[in-house]
Amino acid sequence: MERVPILKIGDVLLVSIQIDLQDQSVLSLQEDLADKIVKTGARGVIIDITAVEIVDSFIGRMFATIASMSRLMDAETVVVGMRPAVAITLVELGLSLGGVRTALDLEKGMRLLGAALPDTGAGRR
Amino acid sequence: MTTPPPEELAIGSGDDVVRVRQLVRTAAGHAGMSLVDQTKLITAASELARNTFVYGGGGAVRVEHVVNARGRAGVRIAFSDRGPGIPDVDQALTEGWTSGGGLGLGLSGARRLVDEFELETEVGKGTTVTVTKWTR
Ligand SMILES: Nc1ncnc2c1ncn2[C@@H]1O[C@H](COP(=O)(O)OP(=O)(O)OP(=O)(O)O)[C@@H](O)[C@H]1O
Ligand SMILES: [Mg+2]
């Protein structure tokens, strides 16, 4: 099973999803993130799904779970880069993700968290 | 343009669910579906493949290119298992109903995302869900 890497930029954790997620990878990512929030005292989590072609109910639920979980640990989560086709499909699937904050791209997401994106930092593509 | 032959794949793991998505992506692209329709079909397939794996105890998928009476191309996908079957189909198709720890969105959501949806099930024998999406 592939694991999704978690990067630390200042006090924000950046998760850029670059693989086709299977359910076990989703569960591991949730656990890894919880650990990392506690260990680093991060105040924000950004989940970058620019490269993600589909979000089904299992992956969508992960966003909601991570958002609630991080909130309990005093960190805010923002999901960035959702493709239009993914958004349309999610609504039709019946998953509105009401409690999840979103931003159009990484830069806007960082700004939403009050964090600055380093000019040459990781996560820039 | 030649029509690719039907493809079959066993569903016995979480990785197989990912493989089903990839198979459906290729077929939907080949049929000439719009990006939104491709995304809808792949998402529906992901839900149904997971059900086959989780509730059906594994099974198989068949992905097939079809053409309707008016010459329109489409993709038909059949998920089958020899699992416990579904005792109450109406209940299973109700949005938000789950027998496990899910959101109960898979069946009802997948149904909305495709053009045709057929569910055959027999308790103790298994379940087959067949969905079709046509190009526009
Ligand atoms: N192949 C199957 N074999 C047996 N039961 C099934 C099968 N597919 C679905 N079901 C039953 O139908 C119910 C509803 O399925 P559905 O996919 O809508 O929701 P879920 O899988 O419980 O949750 P979600 O898909 O939102 O994570 C399931 O909880 C299960 O009881
Ligand atoms: Mg399901």
Question: Radius of gyration of chain B from Cα atoms?
Answer: 14
Closest CA relative to residue B4, chosen from B62, B60, B45, B64: B64
- What's the helix, strand, coil split of chain A in %, to 5? 40, 20, 40
Task: Read off the CATH number of the domain in which B112 is found.
Answer: 3.30.565.10
Closest CA relative to residue B41, chosen from B54, B31, B56, B51: B31
Look up the domain containing B28 and give its range. 7-134
Token couple for B67: 């053409």
pLDDT confidence tier of residue B20, bands split at 50, 70 and 90: very high
- Indicate the domain borders of chain A: 6-110
Residue A27: Cβ within 10 Å count: 15
Query: Does some domain include residue B71?
Result: yes
How high is the ipTM of this complex? 0.93
Question: What residues form DSSP beta bridges with B120?
Answer: B128
pLDDT confidence tier of residue A117, bands split at 50, 70 and 90: low
Give the Cα separation of A83 and A5 in Å (integer): 21
| Cβ atoms B24, A31 nearer than 8 A | no
Give the one of B15, B35, B110 whose C-beta lies nearest to A85's C-beta.
Answer: B35
Going by the DSSP 8-state scheme, the letter that residue B5 receives in this structure is: P
CB contact under 8 A, B46 and A56: yes
Model confidence over B61-109: pLDDT tens digits? 999 999 999 999 999 999 999 999 999 999 999 999 999 888 999 999 9
The third-level CATH classification (topology) of the domain covering A6-110 is Transcription Regulator spoIIAA (3.30.750)
Query: Does some domain include residue B43?
Result: yes
A119 has pLDDT over 60: no
B104 Cα: distance to centroid of ligand 2 (angstroms): 6
Residue numbers of B between 65 and 94 with CB closer than 8 Å to A = none
CB contact under 8 A, A94 and B105: yes
| Cβ atoms B75, B50 nearer than 8 A | no
Query: Does some domain include residue B1?
Result: no
DSSP per residue over B25-47, as a string? HHHHHHHT--HHHHHHHHHHHHH
Q: In B, which residues are within 8 Å of A23 by CB distance?
A: 14, 17, 50
Task: Measure A65 CA to nearest chain B CA, in Å.
Answer: 12
Model confidence over B106-133: pLDDT tens digits? 999 999 999 999 999 999 999 999 999 9
Q: At what angle do helices B106-113 and B35-54 cross, to 10 degrees?
A: 150
